[in-house]
Every structure is written in structure tokens, then in C-alpha cells.
Structure 1
Amino acid sequence: MDYKTIMVGLALDRPNDACLRVAGDIAERFEARIIGVAASDLRPPMYFASGAFAQKLFEEETAAIERQLSELESEFRASVERRATAVEWRASRTLPVPYVLQQARAADILVVGARSEALVDPNAAPDPSDLVMQAGRPLIVVPPKTEWLDLRSVLIAWKDVREARRAVFDALPILAAATEVTVAEVAEQDDRRADARSHVADVAAWLRGHGIVANTLVPEKAGGVTDQLEKIAANIGAGAVIAGAYGHSRLREWVLSGVTRHLATESRRCAFLSR
């Protein structure tokens, strides 16, 4: 199994260089095509103005959005056209998250830039926290200073739940391309460490069946899952972390677990998330 269509979601309010580099890198590795997507809608104040003033604001904001989308298309094509087997652009004047979710049907995997939760503008770019819970496709979240998809060392952040099983299966092409793979589980209680060792051994054996050799690791101390995974990733020099996206619905809003939230918004490494 390979990725044949990569979709990259672009932001209007910050640089896109990092996620374009990673999307191009994946396209080269798997001889895939790339679809670029971007969207933006009018800001809420537009809906409260009236008369000629409202019309003037509407026209100016619409023209600005169309200009930004056109500039993004040029940036996208210049960055990836020589790295992909084919290139396609999709854009609309609408909210980014619903638009990207609709377009995701055409892709094997989505690539988006990381966004700090405190600075998300829902009109300017898709929020990875929303996409990972709803897209039905794996998501690669790219920190802003990333130069390439570094697969020399890849960490699987294992938890014995459906989401992790889904993520590892979806990431098989990435894992097969990696030089070194480590499966790690952090036991949340000391008496669970034996179970954790059994879990990661099973995952490593399953990966061997797919021609992938993986190391296994269970820290000596339990608890502090996010911090321990970050230390493990640093120790093994991981360029990417594979993880299931864990969350639950509360008051009709998606609430992410601490580990998923960290990987989607704060990690310095590319995060491969699936649900």
C-alpha cells in the first residue's frame, strides 16, 4: 500500500513553506499527485454592517480573499509541481475546516501546518485538531520549522486502543520507508508495565509480518505520558511520531486528549495522526 494522492491544506495567515516541503517530499517518495486546498470566509463583523458601508466592506474583503487564494495557488504550484506526478488546486470562499473535510474524499493523506490553540483563526486555515477527529483520513501535522519529512527514526506512540491500531495501519507506507522504527508505550500505572511490554511486542511482531523491523520500549517509570513520549522521541532522534487521535464528544465539540493535543499543536516533530 502506498499513498497515491496527497492533500495539503494551506493557511492564509502564516507561512506554508514547511507543509509544502513535507507534502512535496511525500509525493516524491511515493510517486504521488498533490492536491492543494485553501479556503477563507468573510469575518463575522461583515454580518453586522448595513447599507452602502456594508457593501463596500463586503467587496473589499471578498477581493482580498480572492487575491490571497490566487497568491497561495501560485506559491503551491511553484513549490510542488516538479515533485509530484500531477498537481491540482482547489479553493473556495468558505470556512476552511468544512471545505477541507469535503475535499478529503479525494486524498489518501492530509498534510497541514501545526497551529497553536491560542492563535487559531477559523477563517484563515484548517485547524488540525478539527480535521483529525472528522476527516476519516490520516493527518500529518507539520511544525513551522520543518525542512523535510525525516524518516531516519520514527516513533510509534502506542496505546492499546482502536485509534492506535488504525494509525499504525494507516502509517504502514511511512513505516516501511523509515530507517528505524520504535514502538513505545508508557504505562500509566506501575502494575501495567508487563501488559505494556506485551502490547509493544505484539505490535513489533505484526510489523515484521509487513517487512518492518521495529524496536520496542516501555519506560521504567509509569505516568506522565506526554512528557515521557517527548523524552523518548528526543532520545531516539525521532523525526516523526505515529499516534492514534484520542478524544470524545462533549457539548457537540471535539475534545482531544493531552497526548493528541500536544502532537497536534505543540510538538517540534511531524505528527502522523489517525482515528
Structure 2
Amino acid sequence: MDYKTIMVSLGLDGPNHACLAVAGDLAERFGARIVGIAASDLRPPMYFAEGGFAQKLFEEEAAAIQRRLSELEGEFRSAVKSRARSVEWRSARALPVPYILQQARATDILVVGALADSIAVDPSAAVDPSDLVMQAGRPLIVVPPVVQWLDLRSVLVAWKDAREARRAVFDALPILAAAKEVTIVEIPEQAGQRADAMSRVADVAAWLRGHGIVANTVVPDKASGVTEQIDNIAANVGAGVVIAGAYGHSRFRERVLSGVTRHLATESRRCAFLSR
């Protein structure tokens, strides 16, 4: 199984070179097509202005959005035209998250830029990866702005014995098969559970062997500080990508992510492959 279509989301207000570089690397590696996508809508204050002044603001803002979308199309095509089997651009004056969720039916995987947790997201102009990963039905690669390429020399699987992790590892099979080195880590949830965790990661490693993928396994003794331990192990193995399931705190508030998933989507300095 390979990825045949890559969709990359371009932000209106920030740099896009990292996402474009990773999307280009994926397209070259898998011989895939790339779909670039961007959207923005009028900011809410526009709806509360009145009369001719409101119309003037509406027209100016709409024109500015269209100009920026056209600029992004040019940036996208220039960056990937020689790297993909074919390219396509999709854009709209619409709220970005609903628009991308709708268009995700046309792709195998989404590439999106990371947003720092401290940054307030303007839903009319920006995409929060948390919203996408919980609703898209497609895996995401979340790309920090410091990343310059998709580094598959070492890949870390952050394992947890749950449906989301099983889904993520399956969705990531092409990435894992392309990686030079794969490491599976599970952080025990409680003291005294290390033996059970070792048995679980051994099962995952054996399953990957059936797909021709050799993986190392790591289970630390410490049963706390999960995020910090994953970061430390990723650094120790030189991981360029961390693969993990996306976990929500509550079925009633699915966009609220667990601490580990939120960290990978917002604060990590390496790419995060997230699936649910």
C-alpha cells in the first residue's frame, strides 16, 4: 500500500515552506499526486457592520482573501510542480476546517502545519490540526515550521494498546516500510506493568515483521511523565517522525485531545503522524 494522493494545507498568515517540503518529499517517494488546499472566510465583525460601510468592508475583505488565495496557489505550484506526478489546487472563501474536512475525501493523507498551543486560532483563516485529526477520517502529518524535509532515517511508534494506535500504525505502513529504522515504545501507565507492555510491543513488532518491517522495541521502567519520556526516546533514536493515535478526552468533546497527542500536534520539533 502506498499513498497515491497527498493533500497539503496552506496557511494564509504564516510560512508554508515546511509543509510544502514534506508534501513534496512524500509525493516523490510514493509517486503521488499533490492537492494544495486553502480557505478563508470573512471575519465575524463583518456581519455586524451596516449600510454602505458594511458593503465596502465586505468587498475589501473578500478581495483581500481572493488575492491571498491566488498568491498561495502560485507558491504551491512553484514548490511542488517538479516533485509530484500531477498537481491540483483547491481553494474557497469558506471556513478552513469545514472546507478541508469536506475535501479530505479526495486524499490518502493530509499534511498540515503545526500551531503552537499558546496561539489563539482564528477559525475564519487558520486550521487547527486537532480539529482535522479528530474528524477527517484520514491520517495527518503535522509539520513544525522548523522541519526542512521528511526525515525517515528513524521513525518512532508511540504505542498504546488502544484502537487509535492500531489505526495509526496501519495507516502509517507506507511510512514505516520506507523508514531505515523503526522503534516501538510503550510507556507503562502504572508501576509494575512493564512486563505486559513488553509483551504488547513485541506483538506489534511481530505484526510489522509480517509486512517486511523490522522494528526495535523500548519499554522504560518509569511509569510517569509520558510526554517527556516519548520526547527523550525520540531524541535518543534520532526520530524524524513520531507515529501515534489521536486520543480525545471525551466522546462529547472530541476536539479536546489528550496531553500526549496535543503535544505532538503543537509543541514537538519533529513531524507527527496522527490517526484516529
CA contact (8 A) 1:143 1:269 kept: yes
Partner amino acid, structure 2, of 1:113: G
CA contact (8 A) 2:7 2:109 kept: yes
Q: Which runs of 5+ in 2 are unaligned?
A: none
How much has 1:42 moved relative to structure 2? 0.4
Alignment map for 1:40-51 (pairs within 5 Å)? 40-51=40-51
How much has 1:189 moved relative to structure 2? 1.0
Query: How far apart, in 1, do the equivalents of 2:254 and 2:271 lie?
Result: 25
- Determine whether 1:263 maps to 2:274: no
1:244-270 deviation line (CA, Å, top 9, x unaligned): 000044655521000000000000000
CA contact (8 A) 2:248 2:254 kept: no
Query: How far apart, in 2, do the equivalents of 1:68 and 1:253 lie?
Result: 31
Alignment map for 1:143-222 (pairs within 5 Å)? 143-222=144-223
RMSD over aligned Cα atoms: 0.9
Query: How far apart, in 2, do the equivalents of 1:191 and 1:253 lie?
Result: 31
Query: How far apart, in 2, do the equivalents of 1:123 and 1:218 lie?
Result: 43
CA contact (8 A) 1:143 1:268 kept: yes
Q: Which runs of 5+ in 1 are unaligned?
A: none
Partner amino acid, structure 2, of 1:228: Q
CA contact (8 A) 2:40 2:93 kept: yes
Give the structure 2 partner of residue 82 of structure 1. Answer: 82
4+ aligned runs moved over 6 Å, structure 1:
none
Give the structure 1 partner of residue 137 of structure 2. Answer: 136
Query: How far apart, in 2, do the equivalents of 1:13 and 1:141 lie?
Result: 17
Query: How far apart, in 1, do the equivalents of 2:217 and 2:253 lie?
Result: 38
CA contact (8 A) 2:134 2:254 kept: no
SS in 1 for 2:160: coil
- Determine whether 1:117 maps to 2:98: no
SS in 2 for 1:175: helix
Identity of aligned residues (%): 79
**TM-score, normalised via structure 2 length:** 0.98
Partner amino acid, structure 1, of 2:75: E
Partner amino acid, structure 1, of 2:110: L
**TM-score, normalised via structure 1 length:** 0.98
CA contact (8 A) 1:69 1:91 kept: yes
